[in-house]
Chains A and B, each alone.
Chain A
């Protein structure tokens, strides 16, 4: 159960768009359209932002979108706002109700 790969940090100015990548293998990201993304603020529990690659739970801003190509999934935040500053984790289903997370990406709003 190897971890996925994410950039350690991504930054952008308010109103800009940023994209966080999440690279795995054909056994996880590439093998299933079952990638989810979680936002975590310091000292808080993670919050589901995207599931099944591109679906948004109710209540999550439409500024957050997800996509996938091959073994790499991506989370895009459009119209970046100060409140988006947080850690973001991707997670992939790996079969038989097992899962693997990425190491997390710290998003900084400049």
Chain B
């Protein structure tokens, strides 16, 4: 059974940093691209970042570019999101998800339960 479990969320002051983790199990982690998607309280979903299985390809949404860094450790079946220079508008539940597609990685077939990040003074 595919499982994705996020951790590392919490409260942080504006300008601070936080590192999220996503532990994967039930599939060959290194063979799949992964992504982070966030959801501000009471708001919709927002794509944040993508990483290919080999970490050779990485993309970010404009809203987090230069502040967030996505990475993975295939030996540990883990995905990470290093978040620096955090702002109040980064407050959200952060989900990791597996990316799938036949020709391109175009949809997210499994999601974790999410971890809440609160940025506030």
Chain A contact patch, size range: 20 to 34
A36 to B57, CA, bound (A): 22
A96 touches B59 (CB 8 A): yes
Q: Which residues of A contact B105 (CB under 8 A)?
A: 97
Distance (Å) between the CB of B100 and the closest chain A CB?
Answer: 8
Given contacts A36-B107, A52-B107, A93-B106, contact A45 B113 (CB under 8 A): yes
A103: chain B residues at CB < 8 Å are 44
CB distance from A49 to the nearest CB of B (A): 10
Q: How far is the CB of A42 from the nearest CB of chain B, in Å? A: 11
| A51: interface (CB < 8 Å) | yes
| Residues 24-82 of A contacting B (Cβ, < 8 Å) | 32, 34, 36, 38, 40, 44-48, 51-52, 57
Residue from A46, A91, A97, A101 within 8 A of B52 (CB atoms):
A97
B101 interface hit (Cβ, 8 Å): yes
CA distance A101 to B50 in the complex (A): 14
In whole angstroms, what is the CA distance A99 to B47 when docked?
A: 6
- Given the interface contacts A46-B45, A91-B45, does A57 sit within 8 Å of B101 by beta carbon? no
The CA of A100 and the CA of B104, in the complex, are separated in Å by 15
Q: Write the nearest CB–CB distance from B55 to chain A, whole angstroms.
A: 13
Known: A1-B62, A34-B101, A46-B95. A101 touches B108 (CB 8 A): no
Report the separation of the CA atoms of residues A32 and B106 in the bound assembly, to the nearest whole angstrom: 10
- A residues within 8 A CB of B90? none
Within 8 A of A (CB), among B71-121: 95, 99-102, 104-109, 111-114
Tell me if B95 and A104 are in contact (CB < 8 A).
Answer: no
- Nearest residue (CB) in A for B114 is A45
Cα A47 to Cα B2 with chains together (Å): 13
Contact between A98 and B107 (Cβ–Cβ < 8 Å)? no
Given A45-B113, A51-B100, 7 additional A-B pairs, CB 8 A:
A1-B47, A36-B106, A36-B107, A52-B102, A91-B108, A97-B99, A97-B104
CB pairs A–B below 8 angstroms (16 shown): A34-B104, A34-B106, A36-B107, A44-B113, A46-B111, A48-B107, A51-B109, A52-B102, A89-B44, A91-B108, A97-B59, A98-B50, A101-B44, A101-B46, A102-B44, A104-B45
